[in-house]
Structure 1
């Protein structure tokens, strides 16, 4: 096996998964899901490994990984916070909620807390305008969020 700059144990786990797939053609998205589940994100070397194991071009793996918003090439925290920035949420103070989250987590640059526990992202619209402003943590929806509620929401996920 070629040398990859990633955790070898995790890479073997991914290899076992890929080897267990009988029909490799059309398996790319499923393999990317599994890889992201194992690694937490899709580093370049993992994408190259997947391309070689599936016998496809690395550009195809990269193209699929960047097309679908579920996949990420950046490490993510254990808990993912999404703040809706759609019109209704923004008008009702989503920008202030986002700033409070960043302040509470001491995030200055990027979108991951220093302890690796949280990743903070924004979404255009979650389709829950009646609950604006909306914050989602690991898919759990918090509606009509107020700045003073941010610490309590984050405390639910701190370890």
Structure 2
């Protein structure tokens, strides 16, 4: 834990300032977690322990919130977070073939990050654009009616 904290000292200082700025730490836990996610890019166990110590909120409660909400990550993710919807209309319109093409192009399976930390690939649930399925999002940008042939161009746009 000391190595992670010392390496990221400035980020922890920024997190401290934010935690200290809120009066009710427990009621402000979600904004604290969002701040941590924005600062570090993910919320590893070291950061969870630190938040627990500084806020007085149990590590168990912090961990449960992080695991419940899909926005939070406990592992480092790539610069480009690619999500392929695999439910409902997207599945019906061959989103699994799109996923397979991303896996082939990136050389990773869903749930993993490339070694250079450039891309993370995930399956997602419905994003609400079913009429234009299959849907792919990259860092929140929505791509509609994606086919396996579109994958290469989507990855080129990330460069």
SS in 1 for 2:4: coil
| Other-structure match for 1:86 | 87
1:121-152 CA distances to partner (integer Å, 9 max, x unpaired)? 11122221111111111111111111111110
| Alpha-carbon shift at residue 112 of structure 1 (Å) | 0.8
Gaps of 5+ in 1: none
TM-score by length of 2: 0.91
Instruction: Tell me, yes or no, if structure 1 residue 155 matches structure 2 residue 151.
Output: no
Root-mean-square deviation (CA, aligned residues, Å) is 1.7
Aligned structure 1 segments of 4 or more residues deviating by more than 3 angstroms: none
Match of 1:99, SS state, is helix
Aligned 8 A contact 2:80 2:138 in 1:
yes
Structure 2 residue ranges without an equivalent (≥5): none
Instruction: Please report how far the alpha carbon of residue 74 of structure 1 lies from its aligned counterpart in structure 2 after TM superposition.
Output: 1.2
Does structure 2 retain, via aligned residues, the 8 Å contact 1:84–1:135? Answer: yes
Q: Distance in 2 between matches of 1:4 and 1:22?
A: 29
The secondary structure found in structure 1 opposite 2:71 is: coil
- Greater mean alpha carbon deviation, residues 92-101 or residues 20-29: 20-29
What TM-score do you get using the length of structure 1 for normalisation? 0.91
